[in-house]
Structure 1
């Protein structure tokens, strides 16, 4: 155990922090595995099933809507993890958009989504582990579970299973958020209602938007009982693993590039957040742009004026 050295950039972190150890992390991994095995066994016999999209209630009235900003939470010097979070949300929303949940049917976050792995398009995002923001594949999906919980509470949908975060991401909104954390495949968010409802999920350039449509929902919507009379929680702010000053921690890595290093970018897929990140890194880097005709180049990638540009003629 050690006491952190608080620098100005960590002024928002919690006052008490316990340095993680390999032994403690290994023990936690064993407990997580045991929980995953037990949950998988329960799901095999009588767990929720995946719900297929349906457009039958697309014209039903909107009974609840919730919007969540994509780019305002987290540390600026951990922008790469924020980009990973947005990519993970981009993949995940496809599994929830348009699904119709029938009266009494249970909507399970993980049964609907499946395991987030690289082969499905998930990137390295962020996850809060024991007060630390840790890079992990599929990290950041809690923004989707938070939004689902918020819109469910507004629409009067019951929480069959619900868990809260132990810490906050920096710049995270601290209002009357319902707050729902998830972790594959033992911490789940499960919802159930006494009416049919359809979920609509949209990822815009700046927001995650979730709507609930229903033609049979009660006209007097209510907040769920878990939010009634709840005391204001004071949660610590998680420490950023990429920028933490605790160099003795086994998770610590030096991500900063050396001044003399040279980077080559091979660009074959365009996304708004990656474009913003790349525009800040011109320098003397080498840019290999997609193999498209020059007259159509303005429709694809554009390199900074100072960059040395080459054309990628063959797939790599």
Structure 2
């Protein structure tokens, strides 16, 4: 079965969704506490000396038919989550686990209602909006020597492009705790993750004990939109990464991942629509 055919929206009962979530969460807990991975947990206030890559994304965006209060709530949630992982040290052999560090996003911890995607529909949930953080960390990591060992693509393309600065499909969706983002340090160098919320942006950077000796260029290939037999549209592309040495010589051009997402808007919708995927 092709990837696009497998993306045909499937209606599941609330009982099926609830039971499935409990099952996959239980499997994750078993893997966390009884698996062989060594998870990064140490923080260090002193910043490591060398910046490997930094990036930032705008916090508040006007989304079509979405209450701006949810955007402000997202900022509150991001402030709580970033404190759990800011200044994290990832030593050689260790693995960064997004959800193992952040934990469940409950009201008791201060999380509020934010925007989430639930089977292709925009709805609300406690702790909503944290995909912006997982998207940022994934993008940072693609520009570093660290290895992404677990990442899940967005299955739905909810909003049309608007001033997009990154390729479609270059983010990482998240859902506690079974849709995790995991990054393993397979190098001999210690890294440090910095993530902070400013007045206007979510900022992040990977730092290291040694200066970078490579630079990376992430880009897409084979982007197209297909109309499926069931009547919907699916957006496709492949993400690649070029690696250059300090002399700007191309060292590698590697395949990273491919994306297939059901479009929740018309492919002919004007690009100037005030909307974006990053929320």
Task: Verify: 1:142 aligned to 2:116, yes or no.
Answer: no
Question: Does structure 1 residue 63 correspond to structure 2 residue 52?
Answer: yes
Q: Which has the higher contact order (CA 8 A, sep 6+)?
A: 2
Aligned equivalent of 2:179? 187
Give the one of 198, 203, 206 matched to 2:192: 198
1:227 is matched with 239
Deviations 1:69-117 (A, max 9, x none): 1112633542122222111101111011111111121000011111110
Query: Contact (CA 8 Å) 1:73, 1:171: kept in 2 or not?
Result: no
Tell me which residue corresponds to 1:84. 73
* Aligned residues of 2:52 and 2:212 also touching (Cα < 8 A): no
Q: Which has the higher strand share?
A: 2
TM-score by length of 1: 0.63
Q: CA–CA distance in 1 between the matches of 2:150 and 2:66?
A: 34
Checking the alignment, whether the CA contact within 8 Å between 1:116 and 1:137 is kept in structure 2 is yes
Contact 1:106 1:190 survives alignment (8 Å): yes
Which residue in 1 is equivalent to 2:42?
52
Q: How does 1:1-316 map to 2 (within 5 A)?
A: 24-46=13-35, 48-49=38-39, 51-56=41-46, 58-72=47-61, 74-75=63-64, 77-170=66-159, 173=164, 175-176=166-167, 178-193=170-185, 194=187, 195-216=189-210, 218-222=212-216, 227-228=239-240, 229=255, 233=259, 235-238=261-264
Cα drift, residue 155 of structure 1 = 1.3
- In structure 2, relative to structure 1, the CA distance for the partners of 1:78 and 1:48 (3 Å cut) is farther
Contact 1:108 1:189 (8 Å CA) reproduced: yes
2:235 paired residue number: none
Point out where structure 2 has 5 or more consecutive residues left out of the alignment.
Answer: 1-6, 220-237, 241-254, 266-279
Q: Is the 8 A contact 2:48 2:192 kept in 1?
A: no
Question: Alignment RMSD, CA only?
Answer: 2.8
Distance (whole Å) between structure 2 residues aligned to residue 171 and residue 84 of structure 1: 23
Which runs of 5 or more residues in structure 1 are unaligned? Answer: 1-15, 240-316
Residues 119 and 238 (structure 1), Cα distance of their counterparts in 2 relative to 1, 3 Å cut: farther
SS of match in other structure, 1:95: helix
Q: Distance in 1 between matches of 2:130 and 2:29?
A: 20
Q: How far 1:168 sits from its partner (Å)? A: 3.2
- Cα 1:154–1:104 shift into 2, 3 Å: same
Secondary structure of 2:216's match?
coil
Question: Aligned pair in 2 of structure 1 residues 37, 92: CA closer, same or farther (>3 Å)?
Answer: same
**Per the alignment, do residues 174 and 220 of structure 1 end up closer, same or farther by CA in structure 2, a change over 3 Å counting?**
closer
2:196 partner SS: strand
